Chains A and B, each alone.
Chain A
Amino acid sequence: MLAALAALFLSSCEESGKPETHNQERRQPMAGNVIELTDATFEKEIEQAKGVCLVDFWAEWCAPCRMMASTVAAIAADYAPKAKICKLDTDAHRDTAAKFGITAIPTLIIFKDGEPVKRFVGVTSKEDLKAGLDAALK
């Protein structure tokens, strides 16, 4: 488990030791089909949206969050556009994190028609996320 954690983390880090940012230009869509959310866009993109959304709440210097980045990107490759896959930087956008009672990260929440239906806290497997999304998409 620890070895896998290390391998996944290091695969997402630059040699300088500084974690690569999830998105160099935070207001642009991320690599693949992961959408970067903000406090200003969250309500419209998620709470007012129809259908299924997955939101990854993360922060730059959280090592387990770095691990989840590749998993979320893989999920996006499989599920977009039938589900909207998104990320929100909790350091930059604290209001939304507080609104959903998020105290630990990574936290991933699946929303359906604007309402949270499933929550995962900590490093979560791709299989568990897919199971949650499949259940919400039924």
Chain B
Amino acid sequence: MADTANEADLEAWRREITERTSRHAAESACRLNPDERIVKALIEGLVRRKQKSGDFYCPCRIVTGNPEADRRNVCPCETHEAEIAETGKCHCALFVGDKKG
């Protein structure tokens, strides 16, 4: 289980989620939070979610144990674009963008 991960696993997950989030920012209208310290902290939170719960669930969302519900919160989560449109940032502030309206 992911909870028995060693440092090599953690490092591999860091690379994986860093690449995924960077690619998403490059390919979408949103961008990564310009504050690298916040991004680093949230990346670590995503890695810890992977370790404890099996996937890159948003560190600011509850992992319920219901796979269908939790899948929506795998980063980048399903609601991030709507959140950015409303507030300029997704809930955890990993992604930012322009408010709409």
The smallest C-beta distance from A2 to any residue of chain B, in angstroms, reads 6
* Interface membership of A24, Cβ < 8 A: no
Q: Which residue from chain B places its CB closest to the CB of A63 in the assembled complex?
A: B41
Within 8 A of A (CB), among B55-101: 59-62, 64-65, 88-89, 91-93, 96
Give the distance in Å from the alpha carbon of A19 to the alpha carbon of B41 in the complex.
8
Number of interface residues of B (CB under 8 A): 25
Q: Which of B59, B60, B96 has the most CB of A within 10 A?
A: B60
Tally the A-B contacts, defined by beta carbons under 8 Å: 72
| Chain A: interface residue total (CB-CB under 8 A) | 30
A59 contacts B34, C-beta separation under 8 Å: no
Q: How far is the CB of A65 from chain B (nearest CB, A)?
A: 7
Q: A63-B41, A106-B60 are in contact. List 16 more A-B contacts (CB 8 A).
A: A2-B38, A2-B89, A10-B37, A60-B48, A61-B45, A61-B49, A61-B59, A63-B60, A63-B92, A65-B60, A90-B62, A98-B62, A103-B64, A104-B60, A105-B60, A105-B62
Binding site for B on A (CB under 8 A): 1-3, 5-6, 9-10, 13, 17-19, 59-66, 90-91, 94, 97-98, 102-106, 122
